[in-house]
Amino acid sequence: MGLIFSSFFAALGQIGDRRFLKVLGLGVALTLALLVGAYAGLLWVIEAMVGPEAQLPLIGKVTWLNDLLSGASFILMLILSVFLMVPVASAITSLFLDDVAKAVEDVHYPELPAVARVSFGDGLRDTLNFLGVLILANTLAFILYAIFSPIALFIFWGLNGFLLGREYFTLVAMRRLGREGAVKLRKQHLGTIWLAGALMAAPLSIPLINLFVPILGAATFTHLYHGLRSKAASG
């Protein structure tokens, strides 16, 4: 637990770094854009399924463009961001991880040799694989949410903590250990990685704050990787 919190506060402490701040700003802007796009797509699907004049609980009359531009729609988008931010966070991680990890390593681990960026093909493959698993798992999880509604939020945190922790750590570790080395190290520290992912999934369920989670999460897992790697080397 101590390593997780020290990793987070180290990431938070670098937020004033000009290069880190630039990546954070781009990440937040793109996160918001993807969130709006995901919400617009959801409204479009609802309208396509039930018709443009349908009345839905809490939403009212479904009219795609009007709903998208309304003030009530903004509030609804913030509420739905609890669920929509999970795949958005996954996509943002893959896009900005190299930049975030390099910014962290240049400041905190300057003795390390430079690494080559992950190729576009490998990055796209991993992004789509992780995204597919996230969407499928969260779709199926709605059954558990309905059955165990009093603890639905904890199920959400636990499930997405496992999935996001797995993704973040694997992508960070792959930069220096390769795919096989990353998987091996992840399996050795599965509990720590899962807990770190759950602690990241929790603020994802808080509207507006969740916009900052993807980039800070990538920085936190960069520190966590180096901490676990150092621990394994010394042990």
Q: How much is the pLDDT for 116?
A: 80
Which of 46-60, 77-91, 98-112 shows the highest mean pLDDT?
98-112
Neighbours of 132 (CB within 10 A): 12
Q: How much is the pLDDT for 46?
A: 65
Q: Which of 49-53, 121-125, 136-140, 206-210 has the lowest mean pLDDT?
A: 49-53
Q: What is the rounded distance in angstroms from the CA atom of residue 210 to the CA atom of residue 13?
A: 18
In the structure encoding, which two tokens stand for residue 14, read together? Answer: 């670098």
Give the domain ranges of the chain: 2-16+81-110+117-234
Which of 55-59, 74-78, 83-87, 161-165 shows the highest mean pLDDT?
161-165
pLDDT digits (tens, 9 = 90+) for 140-185: 888 998 899 899 889 999 999 999 999 999 999 999 998 899 999 9
Q: What is the rounded distance in angstroms from the CA atom of residue 60 to the CA atom of residue 157?
A: 30
pLDDT digits (tens, 9 = 90+) for 71-82: 556 676 777 777
